[in-house]
């Protein structure tokens, strides 16, 4: 209704007019699409994430509110560094990278994604928000400029951590997101942990979103990949949500 009437919540509450025929038709069309499984974000074309709002498009993962906690972890990990270097791996719409740049303007923020559609959308979002984030296309951290090896303060990622079996049981509204944005499992978590190590500077931090049942395994994976520890952070519902490891 807010989208159709081009207003905000307060505008809705204070409105006394009836819907025009055009508005009623537009709302009816949107409701039909919603009832047949189109996510709300594909109808409105955007998703709020922390202090910003990003454009979303079919073919690119829709950012979830539970991922906002990962930005808190990354901001804390940056500590007092004067101009920290941060890399968001698997950036999708760019939500995490852009939120970090928005809240820590002095950070040098890089973002990567293997999907060209995601890279294009993240660049569009960066331009629209006027946030200077460099978005690069390729596998994990491979597309980063080589001079960043050993110089990154924080690698942050919401990787595709769902396993094949779990994928088959997902509700239809989650299956709207591209399969490659969802399926990777603990194998991808491990590949990312190993790939990130050489890029981290002394005391650098890797923070990754994980599935609610992956906490113990993910912490082991980080230790096995040479991180000093594998700490788990829970979300507001008390579920394991983020694994954090500090490089040597
Ligand atoms: C769960 S989505 C997260 C998107 C975004 N970070 C967010 O939280 O909204 C995972 C993203 O990782 C990307 N991806 C999957 N495999 C990748 C790889 N090997 N290297 C880089 N990106 C990858 C997908 O294209 C997708 O955009």
pLDDT tens-digit profile of 172-190?
Answer: 888 899 999 999 999 999 9
Query: Does residue 84 carry a catalytic annotation?
Result: no
C-alpha to C-alpha distance for 221 and 48, rounded to whole angstroms? 32
Which two three-digit tokens encode residue 102?
A: 């928005």
Q: What is the pTM of this model?
A: 0.95
Considering 61, 63, 110, 125, which one is annotated as catalytic?
61
Q: Is 159 a catalytic residue?
A: yes
The pLDDT, as a whole number, for residue 199 is 97
Q: Whose CA is nearest to atom 9 of ligand 1?
A: 63
pLDDT of residue 172: 83
For residue 229, the model assigns a pLDDT of 81
Report residue 35 as tokens.
């009832």
pLDDT of residue 230: 86
Low-confidence ranges of the chain (pLDDT < 70): none
Q: Are strands 152-157 and 133-137 parallel, antiparallel or unpaired?
A: unpaired
């Amino acid at each position: 209704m807010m989208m159709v009437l081009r207003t905000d919540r307060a505008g809705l509450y204070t409105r006394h007019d009836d819907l025009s025929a055009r508005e009623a038709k537009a709302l009816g069309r949107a409701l039909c699409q919603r009832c047949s499984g189109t996510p709300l974000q594909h109808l409105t074309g955007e998703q709020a994430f922390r202090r910003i709002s990003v454009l979303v498009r079919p073919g690119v993962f829709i950012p979830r509110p539970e991922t906002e906690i990962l930005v808190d972890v990354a901001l804390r990990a940056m500590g007092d560094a004067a101009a920290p270097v941060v890399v968001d791996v698997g950036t999708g719409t760019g939500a995490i990278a852009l939120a970090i740049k928005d809240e820590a303007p002095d950070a040098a923020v890089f973002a990567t994604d293997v999907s060209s559609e995601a890279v294009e959308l993240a660049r569009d979002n960066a331009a629209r928000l006027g946030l200077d984030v460099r978005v690069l296309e390729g596998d994990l951290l491979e597309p980063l400029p080589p001079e960043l090896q050993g110089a990154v303060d924080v690698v942050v990622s919401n990787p595709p951590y769902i396993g094949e079996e779990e994928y088959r049981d997902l509700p239809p509204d989650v299956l709207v997101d591209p399969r490659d944005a969802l399926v990777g499992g603990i194998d991808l978590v491990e590949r990312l942990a190993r790939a990130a190590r050489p890029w981290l500077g002394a005391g650098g931090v890797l923070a990754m979103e994980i599935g609610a049942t992956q906490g113990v395994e993910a912490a082991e994976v980080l230790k096995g990949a040479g991180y000093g520890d594998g700490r788990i952070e829970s979300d507001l519902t008390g579920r394991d949500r983020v694994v954090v490891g500090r490089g040597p």
